[in-house]
Amino acid sequence: MIVAILLLDSGILLWIAFTLYKKQDDLVRSFYWPALIAKLLAGLSVGWLYFSYYGQGDTISYWEDGKRVSDVIMSNPLGSLKFYWNEDASPVIVEGLNNLKPRSLFFVKISGLIALVSGSNYWMMSIIISFFSFLGSWYIFTKTISFFPGSRIASAVAFLFYPSIVFWSSGLIKESIGLAALFFLAGVFLTISNKQRVSLWEWVVTILSIWIGWNLKYYWLGVFIPVAVTSALIIMLKRRFQVLAQYDVAVWLGLFIVVFLIVTSIHPNFYPARFLEVIIQNNQEFMTLTDPVNAIHYRDLNASLSSMVLNSPQAFIAGLFRPFFWEGHNFISYAAGVENFIFLLLALMALPALKGFFKSRDRLLGLAIGSYSFLLAIFLALSTPNFGTLSRYKIGFLPFLVFLIVYKNPFIVKWSQAKSSLAGS
């Protein structure tokens, strides 16, 4: 029975993959299969890492809980409906769950449905989730290259092949679905900003993505939505009122503060009185479970605004570039350190492009990506001092920042031109 289920699942995924491939432009087809294969292999590698190296972890507990939920759906369909719609009844209806916190429980519900259609086979569940994650990556990739001339390489690097982004957004983990939802929202934002029509199915998936993203990674969307809404509004207003073109950056900053305060009032953890306490609470919880050599150590960090501001520069650097390669102590941390060093070099290479920032046609996009990345890098590094966990969480902003520093990077442009000249000679 299980073999038949696995063959059926594989056949359906292959049919979807080939159908989508046939619809792609020749310009991007060469990226399609390598990107999909990389995504699926990354998901399997996440499973191998946790089963063979760590021996425990959330991907394993999500699988175990997914099996429990799937069994209940099969044996008690009516009871399972109550499980999905009544959160308080969840531990009663499905006994022995490992993940009862709201965001984790939400993902368990997703895991249960995937377990149901995959025979609760971990590796097939990983492939299914990785496949849907790939769809999100491919969507933002194709949207980006359609709106930004000459961005094919930058988009491919940022959204399809950057190692840590691919790895930590694949397999049976929350980030796989969370980042797919975020990518889809970013693609719709680009469509609206460029005065293109958003289709009915895109609006439906947009609503679904907001719902899923908010339940899985509310802190990503808590920053992304204000940035996207502010940018879209300013871009639309500039088309009607040309005078705004001279002050668009200043107007953007003012409007962003207003929209940010409105959006962040939706979740209790974003309330001003609670926000700083949540950061400190998360920081302390991670520090009690983290080896000191694998953590960011702040100076007198406490739930006061002055302490947060004083520690923000260190958090920003750590959020972008740590662990450094000399801070590694195992294969994963060494790999993260090498990648961070390469990222640092790319960022330094991109600095000369800042001279033309305010004259650039895409300055609002750059401001949006920079603000989003700046805020998330600080908040995530302050609340998540563990290097390993931080490397995983920061994929919520890293793809957009990678795109920003690779696209029209002066050194990369010169290298590309020199390569083209050599090829033509």
Which residues are within 8 A (CB) of 402 and not within 5 positions of it... i.e. 6 or more apart?
154, 157, 158, 162, 165, 343, 346
Percent of the chain with pLDDT over 90: 56
Determine the Cα–Cα distance for residues 103 and 282; give it in Å rounded to an integer.
15
Which residues are within 8 A (CB) of 165 and not within 5 positions of it... i.e. 6 or more apart?
158, 159, 179, 395, 398, 399, 402
Q: In three state form, how does the secondary structure of 39-61 look?
A: HHHHHHHHHHHHHHHHCCCHHHH
Q: What's the mean pLDDT in 79-87?
A: 79
**Using 50, 70 and 90 to split pLDDT, how confident is the model at 248?**
confident
414 CB-contact burial (10 Å; exposed 0-12 / middle 13-18 / buried 19+): exposed
How does pLDDT run across 96-126, given as a tens digit for each residue?
A: 788 888 899 999 999 999 999 999 999 999 9
pLDDT recorded at residue 82: 81
What angle, 0 to 180 degrees and rounded to 10, lies between the N-to-C axes of helices 26-48 and 2-22?
150
Cis upstream peptide for 313 (omega within 30°): no
Question: Which among 107, 21, 20 has a CA at the least distance from the CA of 61?
Answer: 107
pLDDT recorded at residue 15: 96
Buried b (16+ CB within 10 A) or exposed e, 377-396: bbbbbbbbbbbbbbbbbbbb
CA atoms within 13 A on the CB side of 412: 22
Per the prediction, the chain carries an average pLDDT of: 88
pLDDT of 272 > 70? The answer is no
Determine the Cα–Cα distance for residues 163 and 251; give it in Å rounded to an integer.
36
Between the CA of residue 49 and those of 23, 45, 53, 132, 219, what are the distances in Å? 35, 6, 5, 21, 27
Place of tokens 């940010």: 260
Pair 276, 303: CB distance under 8 Å: yes
What angle, 0 to 180 degrees and rounded to 10, lies between the N-to-C axes of helices 102-118 and 200-240?
140
**Using 50, 70 and 90 to split pLDDT, how confident is the model at 416?**
low
Determine the Cα–Cα distance for residues 331 and 325; give it in Å rounded to an integer.
11
pLDDT recorded at residue 328: 76
How does pLDDT run across 16-25, given as a tens digit for each residue?
A: 999 999 999 8
Determine the Cα–Cα distance for residues 337 and 128; give it in Å rounded to an integer.
30
The neighbouring-strand residues paired with 295 are 386
pLDDT recorded at residue 375: 93
Determine the Cα–Cα distance for residues 296 and 276; give it in Å rounded to an integer.
18
Q: What's the mean pLDDT in 277-298?
A: 89
pLDDT recorded at residue 123: 97
Please tell me the least confidently modeled range out of 77-86, 122-131, 297-306, 315-324.
77-86
Pair 267, 213: CB distance under 8 Å: no
pLDDT recorded at residue 421: 57
User: Integer distance in angstroms from the first to the last C-alpha of the chain?
Assistant: 60
Q: What's the mean pLDDT in 222-248?
A: 83
| Radius of gyration in angstroms for the set of CA atoms belonging to the chain, rounded to a whole number | 22
Pair 62, 50: CB distance under 8 Å: no
The neighbouring-strand residues paired with 386 are 295
pLDDT of 420 > 60? The answer is no
Pair 67, 120: CB distance under 8 Å: yes
**Using 50, 70 and 90 to split pLDDT, how confident is the model at 419?**
low
**DSSP per residue, 126-184:** HHHHHHHHHHHHHHHHHHHHHHSTT-HHHHHIIIII-HHHHHHTSSSSHHHHHHHHHHH
